[in-house]
Amino acid sequence: MATSTQRNSDQAAATEAHGSPKPCPNCHETRSRAIYSVDSIPAHSVLLMPTQDAATKYPRGDMRLSFCEACGFLANSAFDVTLNEYSPDYEETQHFSARFNRFADELVADLVERFGMRNKRVLEIGCGKAEFLRRLCEAGDNFGIGVDPSIRPERFSAEARSKMQFVSELYSEEHSDLKADVILCRHTLEHIQPTREFLDVVRRSIGDRRDVQVCFELPDVRIVLEETRFWDVYYEHCSYFSAGSLARLFREASFDVVDLWRAYDDQYLLLVAEPTERPTQAALPIEDDLAEMSALASAFETHSQKQIAHWRDTIGTFHREGRKPVLWGAGSKCVAFLTTAGLEHEVEVVVDINPYKAGKFLPATGHPVISPEQLKGYEPGVVVVMNSIYLDEVQKQLDQLGIDAEVVGT
């Protein structure tokens, strides 16, 4: 999610126009190089529209992905925070997936047992619909405070709400009075442009306390670059971290990184840190990735257009053969896949298991979203799963529905 400390890209554009390189939002060095660009992509990907007309007219921005040679951080230098529109209509939850719920439960158990997050006051910054916070409160007998403008408390039972407090706002310095034993921030930092400024706000909110645990989870850009996943580069994500760039950010902001690991088929990074009096030095082998990240950034720059062309041709071939391809997963990956590859009539519908998405339309492309049950009447020949980790889950659901289609993973 965004914060009130974000700067808009008009200032950035003005700086670039005068020939001065932009400072990296992570380390403030001026050693970044552009590696990838896409024009006119939707400003939000999981904010679905009630009508096709509203969807096709949704605001757009540009992607100018730059790699910092100093710290390994990647950022959209053309990001404009004024295009952000986080609200209860923002439908980001993944908790309708059994596969994702297993991961969430495993992570909750790990945090409770291995890191002792039990009988604590937990503040989650960017809690989304707060499903994970609820799980952590129940498993560890914790009390949760969720801060997010997209929260929907009405989706919880009265018992669950009794263990949580909700603040329907963007987190900022004004929320420093929300003291907690654990500060949790999952899949939010990648939505924030001034990453160092944001983490400094978090660090100041802790003050002199040394017993506060900080846990962040976010996508790992390493696999995005390594496998040329252009569908994982989209407007909401203005910041892209590797293990090393994430650790360097925390250490410079006066945290000690207690643990740092990859999860969810290496798609996510998990970091647990503790506040310190001053910056700390790298201590974990996983942090030493700067040379690797530089090489991967160069490879992505070289191969991204070939990957885009491959998928444009593949989906186009499915369509010409009359196989009625559909995409499974009406989220950010799907929108980026369609808009970046320039796919329109080649795909007629998109499927999602989240019932709150059915009947709505994807921003920019205007593709209608249907439920899995509605696929029975559509009879697709090919189902393209936007995250291959869900291949088995999707195949099982198609079998249950009696749909005989080829299942393809991205």
What pLDDT is attached to residue 395? Answer: 97
Q: Degrees (nearest 5) of the Cα angle 395, 237, 347? A: 40
Beta 406-409 vs 74-76: how paired, if at all? unpaired
Whether pLDDT at 86 is above 90: no
Cα(282)–Cα(406) distance, integer angstroms: 47
Query: What is the mean pLDDT of the segment spanning 32-48?
Result: 93
- φ/ψ of 8, rounded to 5, equals -90, 160
What pLDDT is attached to residue 87? Answer: 61
Q: Which of 339, 330, 315, 331 is nearest to 56 (CA)?
A: 339
- φ/ψ of 154, rounded to 5, equals -65, -15
Radius of gyration of the chain (CA): 21
| Amino acid in the structure at residue 399 | D
What pLDDT is attached to residue 334? Answer: 97
Token pair, residue 33, equals 């190089």
Cα(186)–Cα(132) distance, integer angstroms: 9
Place 15 in a pLDDT band, splitting at 50, 70 and 90: very low
- φ/ψ of 233, rounded to 5, equals -115, 110
Cα(338)–Cα(333) distance, integer angstroms: 9
Specify the range with the lowest mean pLDDT, choosing from 86-95, 104-113, 353-362: 86-95
193: left (phi over 0), alpha (psi -120 to 50) or beta: alpha
Looking at every residue in the chain, the average pLDDT score rounds to 92
Q: What is the DSSP string of 224-268?
A: HHHTT-GGG--TT--EEB-HHHHHHHHHHTTEEEEEEEEETTTTE
Place 2 in a pLDDT band, splitting at 50, 70 and 90: very low
Place 307 in a pLDDT band, splitting at 50, 70 and 90: very high
284: left (phi over 0), alpha (psi -120 to 50) or beta: beta
Whether pLDDT at 5 is above 60: no
CB atoms within 10 A of CB 308: 18
* 381 within 8 A of 353, measured Cβ to Cβ: no
Query: What is the mean pLDDT of the segment spanning 135-144?
Result: 96
Query: What is the mean pLDDT of the segment spanning 98-122?
Result: 96
* 78 within 8 A of 9, measured Cβ to Cβ: yes
* 186 within 8 A of 270, measured Cβ to Cβ: no
Question: By three-state DSSP, how is residue 380 classified?
Answer: coil
What pLDDT is attached to residue 160? Answer: 81
* 123 within 8 A of 178, measured Cβ to Cβ: yes
Query: What is the mean pLDDT of the segment spanning 245-257?
Result: 98
* 178 within 8 A of 212, measured Cβ to Cβ: no
116: left (phi over 0), alpha (psi -120 to 50) or beta: left
Question: By three-state DSSP, how is residue 376 classified?
Answer: helix
Place 12 in a pLDDT band, splitting at 50, 70 and 90: very low
Specify the range with the lowest mean pLDDT, choosing from 73-77, 180-184, 356-360: 356-360
What pLDDT is attached to residue 373? Answer: 96
pLDDT, tens digit (0-9, with 9 covering 90-100), for 179-202: 999 999 999 999 999 999 999 999
Place 8 in a pLDDT band, splitting at 50, 70 and 90: very low
> Hey, what domains does the chain have and what are their CATH numbers?
312-409 (3.40.50.720)
Place 47 in a pLDDT band, splitting at 50, 70 and 90: confident
What pLDDT is attached to residue 89? Answer: 66
- φ/ψ of 91, rounded to 5, equals -105, 80
Which comes out higher in pLDDT, residue 310 or 160? 310
Cα(257)–Cα(245) distance, integer angstroms: 12
Whether pLDDT at 329 is above 70: yes
Length of the chain: 410
Q: Which of 266, 274, 269 is nearest to 250 (CA)?
A: 274
Whether pLDDT at 4 is above 50: no
Cα(396)–Cα(399) distance, integer angstroms: 5
DSSP structure class, residue 24: P
Query: First-to-last CA distance in the chain?
Result: 26
What pLDDT is attached to residue 286? Answer: 98
Helices vs. strands in the chain: H and E counts, helices first: 12, 16
Exposure string over 320-329, b if 16+ CB within 10 A, otherwise e: eeeebbbbbb
Q: pLDDT > 90: what percent of the chain?
A: 85
Chain centroid offset of residue 189 CA: 8
Q: pLDDT > 70: what percent of the chain?
A: 93
Q: In what order do the strands lie in the sheet with 74-76?
A: 32-42, 60-68, 74-76, 239-240
Which comes out higher in pLDDT, residue 161 or 3? 161
What pLDDT is attached to residue 88? Answer: 62
Q: Which of 341, 291, 349, 355 is nearest to 325 (CA)?
A: 349
What pLDDT is attached to residue 156? Answer: 77
